[in-house]
Chains A and B, each alone.
Chain A
Amino acid sequence: DTEVTQTPKHLVMGMTNKKSLKCEQHMGHRAMYWYKQKAKKPPELMFVYSYEKLSINESVPSRFSPECPNSSLLNLHLHALQPEDSALYLCASSPSLAPGGLRPQHFGDGTRLSIL
């Protein structure tokens, strides 16, 4: 069982819908991440939160809107998505953003998103 929980596991939505992806961890980690993974491709970083503040936005379109309401939760709000946004969206966490040391990232199982 993963220590990072993502819901829903699957989501199908139309291009005009508004939906949200949720991620939760209770390991006391203060850094949380959203990655996007297309089929047979590696994950690509989208957003990074550190101590509930947005630290990095990797030039992601505004139709993706992240939110970190508290240290355990990370949301990704979706609006007016395009078919090319269909992918596996992965959430991850780590104790901090501090470089070095034994600080592996823990990943959830992802939300598989399909845009009709």
Chain B
Amino acid sequence: KQEVTQIPAALSVPEGENLVLNCSFTDSAIYNLQWFRQDPGKGLTSLLLIQSSQREQTSGRLNASLDKSSGRSTLYIAASQPGDSATYLCAVPINNAGNMLTFGGGTRLMVKP
């Protein structure tokens, strides 16, 4: 059974810092990995999706990397801003039968002005 873990569970940084969020998964036979952002009381917003054949994806100040062999992904946020404060979740397909996702526990990020 695929298990996804995220560390740290919570992170508080001053504005402007570069930071790294970590995600690990137990079954490396994945088709893709997705990073989401969730604001309090809201749904999930897809940030980046990395296919298994890719090593990284970039969107603005966000960069996600994937190392399938070691079962790890990182989300790098450059020059953090207070508006980045949210919970960040990584997710992989539950199995390789489709798009059903299993999520990590999330990292709650607070960026202080």
Contact = CB atoms under 8 A, between A and B. Distances in A.
A35 B31 CA distance: 21
A31 B97 CA distance: 13
Interface string A41-81: 11111001010000110000000000000000000000000
Size category of the binding interface on chain B: 20 to 34
B34 interface: yes
Given A105-B46, A112-B41, A33 B52 contact: no
Interface in B80-108: 89, 93-94, 96-106
A50 B97 CA distance: 12
A43 B98 contact: no
Size category of the binding interface on chain A: 20 to 34
B45 interface: yes
B24 to A, nearest CB: 14
B34 to A, nearest CB: 6
A109 to B, nearest CB: 4
Given A42-B103, A42-B104, A101 B46 contact: no
Contacts of B41: 88, 110, 112
Interface string B39-58: 00111111001011000000
Interface in A1-21: 2, 4, 6
Contacts of A41: 105
Contacts of A83: none
A45 B2 CA distance: 14
Interface string B46-81: 100101100000000000000000000000000000
B101 A99 contact: no
B43 A104 contact: no
Given A2-B43, A90-B44, A102-B51, 12 more contacts: A6-B43, A31-B98, A42-B103, A42-B104, A43-B44, A48-B98, A99-B97, A104-B46, A105-B46, A105-B99, A109-B42, A110-B42
